[in-house]
Amino acid sequence: MSDYLDLTSYGYQIEAELGRNREGGRITWKAIEIKTQKTVVVKQFCFAQANSSWSGYKAYTQEITLLQNLNHPNIPQYLNSIETDNGFCLVQEYITAVPCSSFRLLTLDEVKQIAVKMLDILIYLQQQTPPILHRDLSTENILLDESLNVYLIDFGFASLGSKEVAASSVFRGTPGFIAPEQIVKPIMASDIYSLGVSLVCLLAHKDITAVHTFTSADDPYQLNLKQLLPDLDRRFLGWLEKMTKAKVSQRFSDAQTAKNALLKIELPVVASKDLATLASRDTYKPKILGGVAISVATTFATWAIGFTTSQVELRVTTIAIAMLATIAIAITQLGAAIIVSLDPQTKTQGIALGVIMPSILVAVSGLIWGMNSAVAISCAIAIAEVLLLSYFWAQLPSKMGNLAQGGCWLGAIAIGITLGLNLSN
């Protein structure tokens, strides 16, 4: 307790430390107001410390000025400010909530609810005279409680209206969430960009560093949402893309416009189902279908091997050609599948590589080298399909351990070989 701030003479008893910013000499405490026994948050700024900065002092005085004039149920209320021997403290309403970055996994419908509630807060701020720009929207400054109530905190970097940013303010805000134009002149659309990026983090279940690995090669501020969220509802994806446009002219201009567009989007019923149910279905169904596909492909491959050995003279050169053909076809089809998964617009080219090319290979080999070569190449294709399906089956998410996964794979192969041998006989 000796390291805790002593504010008993001011009517507050410190209970715990909630956070610390050593660079700015700022500490956030959880405290009890002694008179009312009400839990509060105390933000302490020690501007007399060697590692503190006067820019941080300015941020806190600005935050007090803003909060004194705000009255919104989703913005923690300003209660008091206290001057201390080495700085001062800001006292605010305590909210039983956590940063959304630390919250549980959310469904698409829940993320939409959060987006609407956050836009309502921004609408309130933007309707002030002059408009209030938060300038530091991030997954750390958006709080959520178990009832999915949303709260916006930390107004230390907020500004009244659009204005040119001084050189000392260039790096204000959380990197990765800051809109490009905010570095020079923040506007209402700047907070829209930051909110959009925060929602992307929630939907992708990734932190801001991981999210920004999915950016355009031409513009590091432009996220590639189609690649990052390939399964997202098309209409919601389009709305989110407009929220996070790097070019401000292509973005929603303010929170009201963004909210109006969002409310027009009706999500499919499946989006609001329990996440655990969806995860279970999405985890096991592909595994089962993949296992069946491996068994079918193995059945055909086993029969093909038996048929080939009965029709083709087994020589070293023939076996070598078949093995090389198997490897070449497997690589070609794997490449085709990866290309299509990265860019659905290349579906036609993927089909050509995955289906048409092996067929052409069989036909050409039959015309040039005769029926025996065509049969050998067909057998190689069947084996390649087993390898390809096995690879993708192993990549599918699963709650099974490695040993169980390997056992299921071997079981699917064994079933296929058994059925193939029966067909051969």
* Per-residue pLDDT, 331: 73
Same domain? For 235 and 359 the reply is no
Query: Residue 176 domain-assigned?
Result: yes
The residue among 47, 73, 93 that closes a domain is 93
Query: Residue 322 domain-assigned?
Result: yes
Where in 222-341 does DSSP place strands (E)?
Answer: none
Summary count for the chain: helices (H), strands (E): 13, 10
Q: How far apart are CA 317 and CA 153, in angstroms?
A: 72
* Per-residue pLDDT, 132: 93
* Per-residue pLDDT, 273: 43
The residue among 272, 303, 334 that closes a domain is 272
* Per-residue pLDDT, 87: 76
* DSSP alpha helix (H) spans, 152-223: 188-204, 208-211
Give the three-state DSSP class for 231.
coil
Q: Which of 240, 245, 228 is nearest to 267 (CA)?
A: 240
Contact 42, 63 (CB under 8 A): no
Residues 6+ apart with CB under 8 A from 163: 185, 186
Same domain? For 39 and 86 the reply is yes
Q: How far apart are CA 364 and CA 382, in angstroms?
A: 17
Q: Which residues of the chain have pLDDT under 50?
A: 1, 50-54, 164-171, 270-283, 344
Query: Residue 64 domain-assigned?
Result: yes
Same domain? For 56 and 141 the reply is no
Query: Residue 415 domain-assigned?
Result: yes
The residue among 34, 66, 93 that closes a domain is 93
Same domain? For 32 and 117 the reply is no
Q: How far apart are CA 121 and CA 216, in angstroms?
A: 30
Same domain? For 171 and 194 the reply is yes
* Bridge partners, 39 (sequence order): 32
Maximum pairwise Cα distance, the chain: 99
Tell me the residue length of the chain: 425
Contact 45, 84 (CB under 8 A): no
Q: How far apart are CA 222 and CA 242, in angstroms?
A: 11
pLDDT tens-digit series, residues 210-238: 898 888 777 777 999 998 998 899 999 99
Query: Residue 2 domain-assigned?
Result: no
Domain count, the chain: 3
Contact 302, 424 (CB under 8 A): yes
One-letter amino acid at 75 equals: I
Same domain? For 256 and 185 the reply is yes
* Per-residue pLDDT, 367: 65
* Per-residue pLDDT, 171: 43
* Per-residue pLDDT, 168: 38
Same domain? For 239 and 201 the reply is yes
Six-digit token pair at 232? 């997202």
Query: Residue 3 domain-assigned?
Result: no
Task: Give the domain range for residue 396.
Answer: 275-424
**Whole-prediction pTM:** 0.61
Q: What is the CATH number of the domain that holds 135?
A: 1.10.510.10
* Per-residue pLDDT, 170: 40
Same domain? For 104 and 81 the reply is no
Q: What is the CATH number of the domain that holds 45?
A: 3.30.200.20
Query: Residue 267 domain-assigned?
Result: yes
Same domain? For 317 and 238 the reply is no
Query: Residue 1 domain-assigned?
Result: no
* Per-residue pLDDT, 134: 92
Same domain? For 134 and 209 the reply is yes
* Per-residue pLDDT, 225: 92
Same domain? For 404 and 386 the reply is yes
Residues 6+ apart with CB under 8 A from 208: 138, 139, 174, 175, 176, 177, 197, 201
Same domain? For 284 and 138 the reply is no
* Per-residue pLDDT, 71: 93
